[in-house]
Amino acid sequence: MRVSTFLLSTVKETPSDAEIISHQLMLRAGMVRKIAAGIYTWLPLGLRVMRKVENIVREEMNRAGAQEILMPAVQPAELWQESGRWEEYGPELLRLRDRHGRDFCFGPTHEEIITELVRREIKSYRQLPANFYQVQTKFRDEIRPRFGVMRAREFVMKDAYSFHISQASLQQTYDIMFDAYKCIFSRIGLEFCAVEAHGGVIGGGNVSHEFHVLADSGEDAIASCSQCDYAANVDLAISGKADEPRSASDKPMSVVETPDQHTIESLSQFLKIDPAQTIKTLLVKGVDDIVALVIRGDHELNVIKAERLPRVQKPLSFATAEEVQRATGCEPGSIGPVGLKVPVIADTSAAQLSNFVCGANEEGKHLQNVHWGRDATKPKVADIRNVVQGDPCPRCAGVLNSRRGIEVGHVFQLGTKYSESMGASVLDESGEAVAMSMGCYGIGVSRVVAAAIEQSHDENGIIWPGPIAPFDLCLVPIGINKSAAIAEASEKLYQELRDANIDVLFDDRNERPGVMFADMDLVGIPHRLVLGERGLKNGVVEYKSRREKATSELSLSEVVNRMRQHLNT
Ligand code: ATP
Ligand code: MG
């Protein structure tokens, strides 16, 4: 490709509305342009990258045994009413009405459409397992579209759906797809990890894993082990070990005056103790009555975990001031488990404390040297807090580190959620109708492009991983319009590189070298060849890798072969 006939729309200035580096660089490199909030046009340069991602995804999906299909973007409301999601899905679902007054939506995902297809086409267990995928445009009316194509409203997703006669078969395909995902992200050249996750709106909360590209700007917090491959979304990561020994109580409990000390921070400063030696008692609405949740002063309650406790009302809501008064006889802020008349559930680490400080259920007073079982009734124990950096790994002797990630993929065991509500069944061996089990598997194709930039860039611009670079190599001649020899030699080299199947961007503009170098660095082409007057006289061309500062000289006669070696073509 010649730059003179290519829409290379680079921009020097950093766009003021772009917060994160990938968004800034995608705009500066001329990869995408915004048309409305969260809606983008992909320019030739950007589309080349997205297509390379898609190709890798397609190859691995085909290899995993999935068949490519293409489903419509606009979906009839009736199917969403059948699954129950017409009501369930909030304002993220873009609803439309046609000229006949019929309701439709622009698909944010395609479970309904695929289930409708499969219930019509597949009738027997002999046709299972079946796995279908598409690469297609989705629309989600995100409340806060941001970071460019990272969280867009219109975006490209690869979504796959598998159908099974049994859970065992679903598990088998799930494992194959899990491995295919690892393969895809490795081939693209990303540093990623697979984390245990939980079901959102799509699933019934069954087995699920998210694939995250690790980057500081990531929206998701991940806890990952320093030693084994345990990694989980912080919302779900298992905290604390239940079998840690508790030190003995050696001091008698006593009351301390703590006037106006209502926060853990001020209380621990006032008493000159570590916040980890205090506990917080949170009163929440239970299924029957009020329930007390106890966590260590330095920890935070995890709402998702708390909501999983059978005694606790979902969604989690705190007791009102009157309810607190009624249950404890005092104001919120001075509550503690000693003498408390409501059920107490303590986090693992809070239950392991000895000689701790807690509210005395009396305004302006706390208790110190409290001991479970002696002063306060031994609580029920559960994991109800967020993990923190340094927590023990639940699987091995390692510790958990917290990292940030960008979710680029999601695999999910849906079970029979859609096949039951939409009546998708097959006849089994004995001729009986059974609801098919389903799996679904997404990759944010357009988001992957941005995530790759987050992970790989420098002060001069993008540094593409080779497999998804828009071009393999750029050829920059110096003084093409001044020297017929340069023009001729660079044309010849361009032709030779193309004949060798190398995807070359030939900067045939009549620009200053500095401008051309800056552009090629900004758009992130992995390899650069510079042909100048002096080099040509000596029969050499200058080579530079985008990742390295140093340049080297290659003889014109061997340069094509050397580039082929670099690119493995
Ligand atoms: P998120 O938590 O980021 O909103 P999600 O759980 O809603 O993601 P899924 O429904 O599992 O996402 O969709 C599959 C994949 O599509 C995600 O892993 C992500 O990579 C991508 N994706 C989801 N929403 C967007 C968006 N608004 N813009 C770009 N990509 C997206
Ligand atoms: Mg979402």
Give all strands of the β-sheet with 103-106 in edge-to-edge order: 74-76, 103-106, 94-97
**Which numbered atom of ligand 1 lies nearest the CA of 202?**
10
> By alpha-carbon position, which residue is closest to atom 28 of ligand 1?
151
**SS3 of 360-400:** CCCCCEEEEEEEECCCECCCEEECCECCCCCCECCCCCCEE
Number of H helices, E strands in the chain: 16, 30
Does this model's pTM top 0.75? My answer is: yes
400-415 and 208-214 strand pairing: antiparallel
Are residues 41 and 168 in contact, defined by beta-carbon separation less than 8 angstroms?
A: no
Number of Cβ within 10 Å of residue 205's Cβ equals: 14
> By alpha-carbon position, which residue is closest to atom 25 of ligand 1?
151
> By alpha-carbon position, which residue is closest to atom 22 of ligand 1?
444
400 C-alpha to center of ligand 2: Å? 26
Start-to-end CA distance of the chain, whole Å, equals: 18
> By alpha-carbon position, which residue is closest to atom 2 of ligand 1?
407
Are residues 377 and 338 in contact, defined by beta-carbon separation less than 8 angstroms?
A: no
Question: Alpha-carbon dihedral of residues 424, 62, 467, 12, nearest 10 degrees?
Answer: -40
> By alpha-carbon position, which residue is closest to atom 27 of ligand 1?
151
Are residues 439 and 114 in contact, defined by beta-carbon separation less than 8 angstroms?
A: no
| Ordered DSSP codes for 14-64 | PPTT--SHHHHHHHHTTSEEEEETTEEEEPHHHHHHHHHHHHHHHHHHHHT
407 C-alpha to center of ligand 1: Å? 7
**Which numbered atom of ligand 1 lies nearest the CA of 140?**
27
Q: What is the tens place of the pLDDT at every residue in 113-136?
A: 999 999 999 999 999 999 999 999
202 C-alpha to center of ligand 2: Å? 10
Element (H, E) at 185: helix 167-188
Look at residues 462, 466, 442 and name the one whose alpha carbon lies nearest to residue 450: 462
Q: What is the tens place of the pLDDT at every residue in 154-212?
A: 999 999 999 999 999 999 999 999 999 999 999 999 999 999 886 343 444 478 999 99
Pairwise CA distance, residues 321 & 452, whole Å: 49
Residue 385 makes CB contacts below 8 A (sequence gap 6+) with 239, 240, 295, 296, 299, 300, 301, 302, 305, 347, 349
Pairwise CA distance, residues 177 & 414, whole Å: 14
Q: Which amino acid, residue 232?
A: A
Q: Is 119 helix (H, G, I), strand (E, B) or coil?
A: helix
- Identify the residues whose C-beta falls under 6 Å from ligand 1: 109, 140, 142, 151-152, 155, 157, 200, 202, 407-410, 442, 444, 446-447
Pairwise CA distance, residues 106 & 153, whole Å: 11
- Percent of the chain at pLDDT exceeding 70: 98
Q: Which amino acid, residue 282?
A: L
375 C-alpha to center of ligand 1: Å? 49
Which ligand has the minimum distance to the alpha carbon of residue 410? 1
Question: Which one of 407, 408, 412 would you pick to mutate in the ligand 1 pocket, going by the greatest count of ligand atoms within 8 A of its CB?
Answer: 407
DSSP tag of 442: E
What pLDDT, on a 0 to 100 scale, did the predictor assign at position 205? Answer: 47
Residue tagged 């909360």 (tokens): 205
Are residues 166 and 65 in contact, defined by beta-carbon separation less than 8 angstroms?
A: no
- pLDDT per residue, tens digit, the chain (569 aa), is 999 999 999 999 999 889 999 999 999 999 999 999 999 999 999 999 999 999 999 999 999 999 999 999 999 999 999 999 999 999 999 999 999 999 999 999 999 999 999 999 999 999 999 999 999 999 999 999 999 999 999 999 999 999 999 999 999 999 999 999 999 999 999 999 999 886 343 444 478 999 999 999 999 999 999 899 889 888 888 887 766 667 777 789 999 999 888 889 999 999 999 999 999 999 999 998 899 999 999 999 999 889 989 999 999 999 998 888 888 888 777 899 999 989 999 999 999 999 999 999 988 899 999 999 999 999 999 999 999 988 999 888 899 999 999 999 999 999 999 999 999 999 999 999 999 999 999 999 999 999 999 999 999 999 999 999 999 999 999 999 999 999 999 999 999 999 999 999 999 998 999 999 999 999 999 999 999 999 999 999 999 999 999 999 999 999 999 999 988 76
> By alpha-carbon position, which residue is closest to atom 19 of ligand 1?
444
**Which numbered atom of ligand 1 lies nearest the CA of 448?**
20
Which ligand has the minimum distance to the alpha carbon of residue 200? 1
**Which numbered atom of ligand 1 lies nearest the CA of 159?**
14
**Which numbered atom of ligand 1 lies nearest the CA of 153?**
27
Residue 464 makes CB contacts below 8 A (sequence gap 6+) with 49, 452, 456, 470, 524, 525, 526, 546
**Which numbered atom of ligand 1 lies nearest the CA of 210?**
18
539 C-alpha to center of ligand 2: Å? 56
Which ligand has the minimum distance to the alpha carbon of residue 110? 1
Pairwise CA distance, residues 14 & 7, whole Å: 19
92 C-alpha to center of ligand 2: Å? 9
Are residues 234 and 386 in contact, defined by beta-carbon separation less than 8 angstroms?
A: yes
540-545 and 551-555 strand pairing: antiparallel
> By alpha-carbon position, which residue is closest to atom 24 of ligand 1?
151
Question: Which one of 447, 448, 449, 454 would you pick to mutate in the ligand 1 pocket, going by the greatest count of ligand atoms within 8 A of its CB?
Answer: 447
Pairwise CA distance, residues 27 & 11, whole Å: 8
Pairwise CA distance, residues 343 & 324, whole Å: 13
484 C-alpha to center of ligand 2: Å? 56
Calculate the alpha carbon distances from 162 to 108, 175, 202, 437 in Å.
18, 12, 14, 8
Which ligand has the minimum distance to the alpha carbon of residue 194? 1
> By alpha-carbon position, which residue is closest to atom 21 of ligand 1?
444
> By alpha-carbon position, which residue is closest to atom 12 of ligand 1?
410
170 C-alpha to center of ligand 2: Å? 24
444 C-alpha to center of ligand 1: Å? 6
Partners of 36 in the beta sheet? 39
Alpha helices in 217-365 (DSSP H): 264-271, 303-307, 321-328, 348-351
Question: Which one of 53, 157, 404 would you pick to mutate in the ligand 1 pocket, going by the greatest count of ligand atoms within 8 A of its CB?
Answer: 157
Stated length of the chain: 569
385 C-alpha to center of ligand 1: Å? 26
The CA angle 76-79-83, to the nearest 5 degrees, is 145
157 C-alpha to center of ligand 1: Å? 8
